[in-house]
């Protein structure tokens, strides 16, 4: 049953408690309609919904929620690390940044692409070149282009942006306040661990954070190896102003799992 059953109105979301802005990824909660997800999220004090397209934005905005991370350009496999992709990805990013700016959407996502034999240095240089083509436009529109870090060990074999240091070097060279990283805790736990130290050292390069338990990408509770209460406090203590989006696949009642995640990150 939806959390919001019997409530008179949800035109405005519940007031946020704590120091962090929380969001939730749409694809993980696809047992609910988008309307149900937006209602439940708003009632829990969640402020954003990740990874929904422009045609879906009005559904969540009517509940006072923000489309917190929107489609940008490229795909996980075919991204900015190959110059032959740059023209297409630039067109996609320009179109999606324009839409995002008009709708008050803060972030769009992009990807490195798979290596396919490409060296890390060449892939890095190509990503920098591709992002340099779009950074001024993103700056003018006030929308942040977010390069996502993903693991190449379990879920996304051969993906190039699979370590924080590599991603940080890309955005450091681009040197724009509107080109940063999606730091996915689940993915980086698989690749390198040391989550809190890494966040402290690199928070200036991170615009958006994803959560999920490891192993399995399920609830962020004590059934898995990450201490998310400590991670949440560390992120809040860093003064992080972006969204922390829950991107786990629930194994039990999704409402109870989402409520628990919100409570853990209410610090």
Tell the burial category of 196 from Cβ atoms under 10 Å away from its Cβ (0-12, 13-18, 19+).
middle
Radius of gyration for the chain, computed over Cα atoms and rounded to the nearest angstrom? 18
Cα distance between residue 196 and residue 58, in whole Å: 35
Whether 66 and 105 have beta carbons less than 8 Å apart is answered as yes
Q: With pLDDT > 90 as the criterion, what percentage of the chain qualifies?
A: 94
Question: pLDDT tens-digit profile of 39-75?
Answer: 999 999 999 999 999 999 999 999 999 999 999 999 9
Question: pLDDT tens-digit profile of 9-26?
Answer: 444 667 778 999 999 999
Helix, strand and coil percent figures for the chain, each rounded to 5: 45, 15, 40
- Phi, psi dihedrals of residue 161, rounded to the nearest 5°: -80, 70
Query: Interior CA angle at 217 toward 17 and 39, to 5°?
Result: 40
Cα distance between residue 20 and residue 176, in whole Å: 24
Those residues with Cβ within 8 angstroms of residue 33's Cβ, 6 or more apart along the chain or in another chain: none
Which tokens belong to 113? 């692409």
Question: pLDDT tens-digit profile of 93-132?
Answer: 999 999 999 999 999 999 999 999 999 999 999 999 999 9
Delineate the domains of the chain, giving CATH numbers in brackets: 25-251+259-264 (3.20.20.150)
How far is it between the farthest Cα atoms of the chain? 57
Residue 5 has pLDDT above 80, yes or no: no
- 219 — alpha (psi -120 to 50), left (phi > 0) or beta? beta
């Amino acid at each position: 049953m939806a959390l919001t059953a019997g409530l008179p109105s949800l035109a405005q979301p519940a007031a946020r408690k704590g120091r962090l802005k929380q969001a939730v990824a749409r694809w993980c909660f696809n047992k609910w309609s988008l309307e149900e997800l937006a209602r439940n999220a708003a009632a829990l004090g969640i402020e954003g919904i990740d990874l929904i397209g422009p045609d879906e934005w009005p559904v969540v905005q009517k509940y006072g929620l923000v489309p917190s991370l929107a489609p940008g350009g490229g795909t996980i496999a075919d991204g900015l690390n190959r110059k032959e992709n740059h023209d297409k990805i630039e067109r996609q990013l320009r179109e999606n940044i324009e839409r995002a700016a008009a709708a008050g959407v803060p972030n769009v996502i992009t990807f490195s692409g798979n290596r396919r034999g490409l060296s890390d240095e060449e892939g890095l240089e190509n990503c920098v070149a591709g992002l340099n083509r779009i950074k001024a436009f993103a700056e003018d529109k006030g929308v942040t282009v977010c390069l996502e870090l993903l693991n190449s060990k379990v879920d996304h074999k051969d993906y190039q942006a699979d370590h924080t240091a590599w991603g940080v070097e890309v955005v450091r060279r681009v040197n724009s306040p509107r080109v940063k990283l999606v730091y996915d805790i689940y993915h980086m736990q698989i690749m390198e661990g040391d989550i809190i130290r890494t966040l402290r050292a690199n928070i200036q390069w991170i615009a958006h954070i994803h959560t999920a338990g490891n192993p399995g990408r399920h609830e962020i509770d004590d059934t898995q190896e990450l201490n998310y209460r400590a991670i949440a406090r560390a992120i809040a203590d860093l003064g992080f102003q972006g969204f922390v989006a829950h991107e786990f696949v629930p194994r039990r009642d999704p409402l109870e799992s989402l409520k628990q995640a919100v409570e853990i990150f209410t610090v």
